A and B are shown apart, each in its own frame.
Chain A
Amino acid sequence: MKTLAAVLLLAVIQGRTLYEDPTRSIRIHGYTQAEGGTLENGDFEFSMRGNPAVVESRVEGMVVTAPTLSGTVSPASSSARAFIRVLNVEGGSVVTLDSAIAHQAQVDLAKRAGAAAPAEPATREASTIRSASFGYVGTGGEGTLTIPQAFTIESHSDGRVGDTSFTQTLTAEGTQATIKLDPATSAEIPVKSGTISGPVKLKISRSETKTGAPQPTLSELEGFADNVEIDLQTARTITLRGNVKVSGFSGLYQGTSEGDVVVVTLDQAMKPIRIRITGDPTKSTLRERKQGGVR
């Protein structure tokens, strides 16, 4: 009975809301200890512990959980949406970025303002970043995530482009990273650019099905490198540098390559459409996949 009471008490404490901005886009909860206040510019500053403590920014599709969290949030005003301005996270953190949450928040805001709801994006992207600690600085339009320690990223996207529906999973591991985000975007993925230091491990798995096709086309790309540069804003490339090893398959073909630099070009739906390898060509193989080799 005492255990049940303790569990219920813990649930109540963990569910306690500390702060909500006027549009209920930002919500801070799950704390056991907290302190902070308002700043001259109207921002809300906080420092808290929890099991875990949680900061949500719905318009940005961003949820951050960690035992120790501090930072500032900018509440919504008549001219600007609410956003996370600064976040410092320690003790084992999880960041999720979900374009569906961001879209729904923007629909809610439009409804509240009596404006037309934004169109539902054709693709959905949900990413989870796990690391012992990280720092985040946002401006409302974009943000920079600085991860100083080992981390993993798991990203899932699905949707439809033209007559093709797809699902794609991307995983990345590295020892530190700096990633520029546009978390408030309502379409595609929120990552704009970034650098990852390694050793880096990258894996992209994709399944796509054309309308009327009997079965999906599967593809998988796995890469290792000393570091990785991501540019999804302009060139739409992922560049792997130093001791690069890439292997994978797409449809009926599979191969491996080793080189100094590998540039993977992606289309709008994050599909790898070109791989350019710089290095010793004798270390590349390409062959037809065996029957039934679809993984």
Chain B
Amino acid sequence: MILPLLSFSQSIFSYSDAKGDLSIRAKDGQGILSAGGYEFDLKGSVAISSKTRQLVLTASRVKASIGKSPGSDAPNELKKATASGGANIVQSASGKSSRLQAGTATYTVQGSGASVQASGSVRIVNVDSGKRETLTATGTSGTARLDSKSPRGISSATLNGPVRVEIVQSAGSASRVVFTGRKMTLSGNQVSLTGNVKASGAGASRFGNLSNVDSLTVTLNDRGEFSRFTFKSGAGS
């Protein structure tokens, strides 16, 4: 059944569901009321936030599907969103959070979590409970699995590259270790890089420089700081 086109030619578009869980703001936009919910095309300083999922999405333009997700109690949820023009997704989790920034990002709810497909200068940042950025990873494209129940909001991610990962050292916040490579995979407390991997200690780090490595896995401590890494290179790595 085709429902009427909703037009929001206002200076500020604002939407909030009855429970106040999902709220949407934009400078301009239009929407279609569909059988399962709403289809929005939002433009200009778009901000979508979900209290249930502890999620905030901002971008210049977002095409969003709102409705009830399978297995969810919430009547209106952000089921899918395609954000462009500087997408910024913040997924919070028990005091900590992860931020994903990209030229474009497609967010899709999957059960209790969500997946994100991102491209165009992708950046993933882990922020600890003290608002300190413990990990910053950049690449040209990537995917991420968001989950408010995971310790840092992003439970897993893959970045294609060249990639650069900067992790604060447990020894001191001023000390950082920088890794570069062709691909990065983040899973739980492990960050893996492959393809001409390099590592260097910065600040007060006493590590030094590692280069020409095929694969390297960083282990993070519970605070998300650099704990140690292992590497392999050459035949069989």
Contact = CB atoms under 8 A, between A and B. Distances in A.
Contacts of B171: 42
Contact of A42 (B207, B212, B235, B237): B207
Given A31-B233, A33-B233, A34-B231, A16 B206 contact: no
Interface in B171-230: 171, 201, 204-213, 228-230
A36 B213 CA distance: 11
A48 B234 CA distance: 9
Nearest to B204: A78
A32 B234 contact: yes
Contact of B234 (A26, A49, A78): A49
B206 A75 contact: yes
Contacts of B201: 22, 75
Contacts of A17: 211-212
A37 B206 contact: no
A38 B228 contact: yes
A22 B233 contact: no
A253 interface: no
The majority secondary structure among interface residues of chain B is: strand
A36 B229 CA distance: 8
A35 B206 contact: no
Contact of B207 (A18, A22, A34, A35): A22
A42 to B, nearest CB: 5
A40 interface: yes
A154 interface: no
B51 interface: no
A57 to B, nearest CB: 13
Contacts of B235: 32-33
Contacts of B213: 18, 34
Interface string A15-48: 0111111100010000111111111101010001
A30 B171 CA distance: 31
Instruction: Give the interface centre of B206, B212, B229 by most chain A CB atoms within 10 Å.
Output: B206
A18 B198 CA distance: 9
A285 interface: no
A39 B228 contact: yes
Given A35-B230, A37-B230, A37-B231, A18 B208 contact: no
B130 interface: no
Contacts of B237: 33, 35
Interface in A52-84: 75-78
Nearest to A12: B212
The majority secondary structure among interface residues of chain A is: strand
Nearest to A36: B231
Contacts of B233: 18, 31, 33-35
B211 A75 contact: no
Contacts of B208: 19-22, 26, 44, 75-76
A42 B204 CA distance: 12
A35 B212 contact: no
Contacts of A31: 233-234
Given A33-B237, A35-B237, A19 B232 contact: no
Given A33-B233, A36-B231, A38-B229, A20 B206 contact: no
Given A35-B237, A75-B206, A77-B206, A18 B232 contact: no
Contact of A37 (B205, B209, B228, B236): B228
Interface string B91-106: 0000000000000000
Contacts of B206: 21-22, 42, 75-78
Given A20-B209, A75-B206, A76-B206, A37 B234 contact: no
A35 B232 contact: yes
B135 to A, nearest CB: 17
A280 to B, nearest CB: 59
Interface of A: 16-22, 26, 31-40, 42, 44, 48-49, 75-78
22 contacts: A16-B211, A16-B212, A17-B211, A18-B212, A21-B206, A22-B207, A31-B233, A32-B234, A33-B233, A33-B235, A33-B237, A34-B231, A34-B232, A34-B233, A35-B230, A35-B237, A38-B228, A39-B228, A49-B234, A75-B201, A75-B208, A77-B206
Given A22-B201, A33-B233, A36-B231, 19 more contacts: A18-B211, A18-B233, A22-B205, A22-B208, A31-B234, A32-B234, A33-B234, A33-B237, A34-B233, A34-B234, A37-B228, A37-B229, A37-B230, A39-B228, A40-B228, A42-B207, A44-B208, A75-B201, A75-B208
